[in-house]
């Protein structure tokens, strides 16, 4: 990791205090993924506020902050999100009343009480700032919560918040050109806003609107009524409310830097390149853009997912690290590598495997009714150390440039996968869409792995098994994972084989939610594919109902009603884990059965600094354009063919 220069450090210090100069924010992002990956105080991919321990740490003023949003150089007044829906014109409207227990409101009140600074970000679709903003998302500064109150608007009660900039003497970068620098506080004459007690509830409220004072306590019968008993008509903020300022309070300090400097901390600890901290986003030291860790060995400001890629002025900054080799000993904490395996976690699973041993593998076979099987090959020490075996492959995969990178998740807009991926052979779309390179371009390590996986596929399924024609390699750094998903695309053959290298991982298999409950939760309808499967909720009751329906003792309407009653009684948020495998270095897992992918889903989480998972599948060539078929052709060299030793 290169050392930061004096000039860069000076620039960093300037960014920390948020004063890069008028007109430019100290950090910015062109999409939400980069923003949330790079700022520890705003990790909210959806929604406008970010909370930790029920306190608000970050707040986004995006397109629709509602009527009466007010933004000047020091004060921001906006509605508090939550409980809103889009109306026919695409505007957010309040759907439910808010009160102090509403999460977003409560967290702002908690930050106010505890004196927590809140970082503000403004999106360029927000028109209330009345100036053109330079980027899609712009970090403003640290603010403090001054007031949270309630309004009655369109028949609903909604909360508003007033933020005041923490450092009032620092010029705001969003101030209009020609604005004079702010006066020191001691030279200002800030009127206090008018405040008075309510004659009905006796609680004090500030005068926030200029028409007149009114009680702003929503529980009070006098709430939102002028002194003459009428509702206010003209909702303009009172001038003394807008110009008042809370005095400096040294107790209110930001808990973190507004612009985190991960690059400096990494330069002090080069070994950290695969640790959790190093797969966060960074702030580009040249253009101050938030940049996700999209590449295996570093950050590239002009990432291919950036929207400004065509821009000739696109910043060219990148930081490509040389990741020091991570030895097996470094990621395997067992007493010895490959001798003592705890491959079965009986306490965590509903299905028991049949175990048998044929040198050099111990095999655990899990049979899920008539749906499919999972065979776990647990390697012994001798096989790990053979030439071109798992130990060597793990080391060599670190030396070749595989082209691993993180991709945007299709199911979850704005999120990058929490693992790196590269595909060889036939094109394959898994939880993301990845490019595929042909096997003829693949490094030999991939072909050795393919040899082993072809062997395991035949062992688990028999001679009729389809030879794999695709191999997806996933790379995991510390605490990376792949969430629950299935490999059930229509183009896929029924067999999926994975070789695990490096750190230990846990693989979990469970029924998909609708088959676990017997109903589609969102639609609140019983499943049409009426199956009762291992791992589902109350299988005996469901089978009994099914039989009664088949015998004509229950009409379809009664049967559906009873199934929904059962489904509604489920108290668990998620289905129970049916099978839980501990995947150790050198282990292979073969899942077989297309119904297995239809009804069940699996997840894998890695434990230590580095793990590779190489998964081979058979992709039906009919589902792939003919011009791409060549990618899946391969002939293994004699030493790449694995004989099970």
Ligand X SMILES: O=C(O)CCC(=O)C(=O)O
Residue numbering of the annotated binding site for 2-oxoglutarate: 485, 602
Counting contacts by CB under 6 A, is residue 613 touching ligand X?
yes
Identify which of residues 604 and 619 has a Cβ nearer to ligand X in the complex: 604
- The answer to whether 422 touches 401, Cβ cutoff 8 Å, is no
Identify which of residues 30 and 486 has a Cβ nearer to ligand X in the complex: 486
- In the complex, the smallest distance separating the C-beta of residue 414 from ligand X, rounded to whole angstroms, is 22
C-alpha to C-alpha distance for 288 and 265, rounded to whole angstroms: 17
Residues in region 583-602 near ligand X by CB under 6 A: 583, 602
The tokens for 431 are: 């939880």
Counting contacts by CB under 6 A, is residue 604 touching ligand X?
yes
Counting contacts by CB under 6 A, is residue 238 touching ligand X?
no
- In the complex, the smallest distance separating the C-beta of residue 389 from ligand X, rounded to whole angstroms, is 18
Q: Rg (Cα) of the chain, in Å, rounded?
A: 30
Listed ranges 140-148, 356-364, 457-465, 497-505: which one lies at the site for ligand X (CB under 6 A): 497-505
- In the complex, the smallest distance separating the C-beta of residue 338 from ligand X, rounded to whole angstroms, is 18
Omega before 360 within 30 of 0, i.e. cis: yes
The angle subtended at Cα 284 by Cα 283 and Cα 290, nearest 5°, is 45
Which strand ranges, in their side-by-side order, compose the sheet holding 470-477?
A: 354-358, 361-368, 372-379, 588-592, 492-502, 610-619, 470-477, 420-425, 436-437
How many amino acids of this chain bind ligand X (CB under 6 A)? 13
What SS3 class is residue 592?
Answer: strand
Counting contacts by CB under 6 A, is residue 482 touching ligand X?
yes
Identify which of residues 157 and 474 has a Cβ nearer to ligand X in the complex: 474
- In the complex, the smallest distance separating the C-beta of residue 131 from ligand X, rounded to whole angstroms, is 47
- In the complex, the smallest distance separating the C-beta of residue 531 from ligand X, rounded to whole angstroms, is 23
Counting contacts by CB under 6 A, is residue 542 touching ligand X?
no
- In the complex, the smallest distance separating the C-beta of residue 627 from ligand X, rounded to whole angstroms, is 25
Counting contacts by CB under 6 A, is residue 615 touching ligand X?
yes
- In the complex, the smallest distance separating the C-beta of residue 473 from ligand X, rounded to whole angstroms, is 9
C-alpha to C-alpha distance for 396 and 394, rounded to whole angstroms: 6
Q: Point out the annotated binding site.
A: 485, 602
Identify which of residues 123 and 586 has a Cβ nearer to ligand X in the complex: 586
Identify which of residues 288 and 452 has a Cβ nearer to ligand X in the complex: 452
Q: DSSP for 522-574?
A: TTTEE-SS----TT-SSHHHHHHHHHHHHTTSS-HHHHHHHHHHHHHT---SS
Identify which of residues 27 and 583 has a Cβ nearer to ligand X in the complex: 583
Identify which of residues 261 and 487 has a Cβ nearer to ligand X in the complex: 487
Site string for ligand X, 500-519 (x = CB under 6 A): x----x--------------
Residue showing tokens 């060549």: 630
The tokens for 317 are: 């900054």
What SS3 class is residue 194?
Answer: coil
Counting contacts by CB under 6 A, is residue 273 touching ligand X?
no
Counting contacts by CB under 6 A, is residue 292 touching ligand X?
no
Listed ranges 253-261, 283-291, 312-320, 498-506: which one lies at the site for ligand X (CB under 6 A): 498-506
- In the complex, the smallest distance separating the C-beta of residue 610 from ligand X, rounded to whole angstroms, is 13
The pairing of strands 436-437 and 195-197 is unpaired
462 CB-near residues (< 8 Å, 6+ apart): none
- φ, ψ for residue 595, nearest 5 deg: -70, -25
Among 378, 417, 498, 616, binds ligand X (CB under 6 A): 498
Cα 425 vs. chain centroid, distance in angstroms? 29
| β strands within 181-281, DSSP E | 195-197, 204-206
Counting contacts by CB under 6 A, is residue 205 touching ligand X?
no
With b meaning 16 or more CB within 10 Å and e meaning fewer, what string describes 240-274? ebbebbeeeeeebebeebbbbbbbeebeeeeebbb
Residues in region 458-477 near ligand X by CB under 6 A: 472, 474
What SS3 class is residue 436?
Answer: strand
Identify which of residues 238 and 607 has a Cβ nearer to ligand X in the complex: 607
Query: Measured between alpha carbons, how far is residue 343 from residues 80, 132, 262, 476, 480 in Å?
Result: 49, 59, 37, 20, 20
- In the complex, the smallest distance separating the C-beta of residue 460 from ligand X, rounded to whole angstroms, is 16
| β strands within 272-340, DSSP E | 282-283, 290-291, 298-300, 318-320
Among 137, 163, 213, 430, binds ligand X (CB under 6 A): 430
- In the complex, the smallest distance separating the C-beta of residue 376 from ligand X, rounded to whole angstroms, is 11
Task: Tell me which residues touch ligand X (CB under 6 A).
Answer: 430, 472, 474, 482, 487, 498, 500, 505, 583, 602, 604, 613, 615
């Amino acid at each position: 990791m290169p050392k930061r220069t004096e000039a860069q450090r000076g620039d960093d210090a300037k960014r920390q205090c948020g004063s890069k100069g008028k007109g430019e924010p100290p950090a910015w992002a062109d999409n939400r993924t980069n923003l949330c990956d790079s700022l520890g105080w705003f990790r909210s991919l959806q929604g406008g506020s970010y909370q930790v321990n029920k306190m608000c740490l970050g707040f986004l003023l995006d397109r629709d902050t509602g009527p009466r949003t007010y933004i000047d150089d020091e004060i921001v007044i906006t509605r508090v999100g939550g409980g809103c829906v889009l109306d026919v014109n695409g505007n957010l409207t309040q759907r439910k009343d808010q009160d102090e227990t509403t999460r977003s409101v409560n967290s702002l009140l908690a930050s106010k009480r505890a004196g927590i600074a809140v970082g503000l970000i403004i999106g360029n679709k927000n028109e209330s700032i009345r100036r053109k903003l330079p980027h899609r998302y712009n970090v403003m500064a640290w603010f403090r919560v001054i007031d949270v109150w309630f309004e009655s608007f369109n028949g609903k009660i909604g909360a508003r918040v007033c933020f005041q900039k923490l450092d009032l003497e620092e010029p705001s970068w969003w101030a209009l050109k020609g604005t004079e620098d702010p006066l020191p506080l001691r030279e200002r004459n800030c009127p206090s806003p008018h405040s008075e007690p309510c004659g009905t509830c006796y609680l004090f409220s500030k005068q926030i609107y200029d028409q007149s004072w009114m009680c702003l306590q929503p529980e009070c019968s006098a709430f939102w009524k002028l002194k003459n008993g009428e509702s206010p008509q003209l909702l303009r903020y009172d001038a003394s409310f807008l110009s008042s300022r809370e005095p400096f309070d040294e107790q209110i300090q930001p808990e973190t830097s507004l612009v985190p400097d991960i690059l400096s901390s990494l330069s002090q600890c080069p070994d950290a390149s695969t640790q959790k901290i190093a797969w966060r986003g960074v702030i580009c030291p040249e253009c101050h853009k938030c940049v996700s860790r999209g590449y295996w060995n570093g950050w590239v400001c002009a990432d291919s997912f950036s929207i400004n890629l065509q821009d000739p002025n696109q910043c060219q900054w990148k930081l490509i690290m040389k990741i020091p080799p991570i030895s097996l000993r470094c990621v395997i904490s067992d007493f010895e590598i490959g001798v003592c395996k705890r491959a079965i976690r009986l306490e965590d699973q509903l299905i028991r495997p049949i175990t048998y041993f044929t040198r050099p593998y111990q095999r655990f076979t899990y049979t899920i009714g008539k749906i499919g099987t999972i065979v776990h090959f647990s390697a012994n020490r001798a096989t790990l150390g053979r030439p071109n075996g798992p130990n060597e492959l793990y080391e060599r995969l670190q030396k070749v440039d595989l082209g691993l990178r993180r991709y945007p998740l299709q199911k979850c807009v704005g999120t990058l996968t929490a693992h790196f991926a590269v595909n060889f052979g036939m094109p394959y779309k898994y939880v993301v869409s990845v490019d595929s390179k042909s096997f003829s371009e693949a490094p030999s390590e991939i072909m050795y792995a393919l040899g082993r996986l072809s062997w395991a596929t035949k062992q688990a399924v028999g001679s009729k098994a389809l030879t794999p024609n695709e191999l997806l390699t996933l790379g995991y750094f510390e605490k990376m994972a792949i969430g629950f998903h299935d490999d059930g695309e229509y183009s896929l053959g029924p067999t999926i084989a994975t070789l695990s290298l490096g750190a230990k991982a846990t693989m979990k298999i469970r029924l998909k939610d609708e088959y676990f409950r017997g109903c589609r939760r969102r639609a609140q309808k019983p499943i049409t594919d009426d199956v009762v499967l291992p791992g589902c909720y109350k299988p005996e009751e469901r089978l009994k109902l099914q039989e009664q329906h088949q015998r004509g003792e229950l009409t379809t309407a009664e049967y559906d009603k009873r199934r929904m009653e059962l489904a509604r009684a489920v108290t668990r948020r998620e289905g129970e884990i049916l099978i839980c495998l501990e995947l150790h270095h050198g282990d292979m897992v073969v899942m077989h059965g297309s119904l297995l992918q239809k009804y069940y889903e699996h997840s894998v989480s890695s434990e230590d600094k580095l793990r590779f998972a190489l998964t081979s599948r058979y992709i039906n060539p009919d589902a792939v354009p003919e011009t791409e078929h060549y990618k899946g052709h391969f002939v293994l060299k004699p030493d790449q063919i694995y004989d099970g030793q």
